[in-house]
A and B are shown apart, each in its own frame.
Chain A
Amino acid sequence: MKPLILKCKIKGKQRLDMSWLSNIKASKLSDIKNILISYGSKQYKLSTLFDVSGDNFEDIVIKNSHVHLDNIGSRLKDKKITVNGNVGYGLAKGMINGEIIVKGNVGKNACSGMKGGSVHILGNADDGLCSLPTSMNEGLVDGFIYVKKNVGDNSIIRMRRGNVVIGGDIGSGSCLELISGSVVILGKIGKNFCYKARRGTIFTKDKSVSREYIKANETDLTFFNFYKIKINKMLKQNLISSSKPLRYFGTKSERKLVELFVI
Chain B
Amino acid sequence: MKINGLAIENTFAEAFNMKASRIIVTADNTKWARNAAVSFTGFATSVIACGVEAGIEKQLTTKDTPDGRPGFSILLFSMSRSQLEKQLETRAGQCILTCPTTALFSGLDGEDMIPLGKNLKYFGDGYQISKRIDKKRFWRIPVMDGEFMCEEMTARIPAIGGGNFLLLSKNRSSCLLACELAVNVMSKIDNIITPFPGGVVRSGSKVGSKYKALIASTNDAFCPSLSGITGSKLHKSVNCVMEIVINGLTKEDIDKGIRESLIAISKSKYKKDIVSVSAGNYGGKLGQHHFHLRKILK
Contact = CB atoms under 8 A, between A and B. Distances in A.
Q: Do A and B bind each other?
A: yes
B132 interface: yes
B134 interface: yes
Main secondary structure of the interface of A (DSSP, over half): mixed
Interface size class of B (residues with CB under 8 A): 10 to 19
Interface string A200-223: 010000000000000001011011
A230 B66 contact: yes
Interface residues of A, number: 23
A231 B114 CA distance: 26
B68 A229 contact: yes
Nearest to B63: A229
B33 to A, nearest CB: 12
A157 B66 CA distance: 30
A257 B127 CA distance: 9
Nearest to B102: A222
B66 A222 contact: no
Nearest to A234: B134
B66 A223 contact: no
A232 to B, nearest CB: 10
B129 A230 contact: no
Contacts of A162: 132
Contact of A225 (B68, B101, B133, B138): B68
A66 interface: no
Contact of A222 (B133, B134, B149): B149
B100 to A, nearest CB: 10
B134 A180 contact: no
B67 interface: yes
A225 B140 contact: no
A222 B132 contact: no
A259 interface: yes
Contact of B130 (A144, A180, A217, A229): A180
Contacts of B66: 226, 229-230
Interface string A43-75: 000000000000000000000000000000000
Interface of A: 142, 144, 161-163, 180-182, 199, 201, 217, 219-220, 222-223, 225-227, 229-230, 234, 257, 259
14 contacts: A144-B134, A163-B132, A180-B130, A182-B133, A199-B129, A201-B129, A217-B146, A220-B146, A222-B69, A222-B101, A223-B131, A226-B68, A226-B103, A227-B133
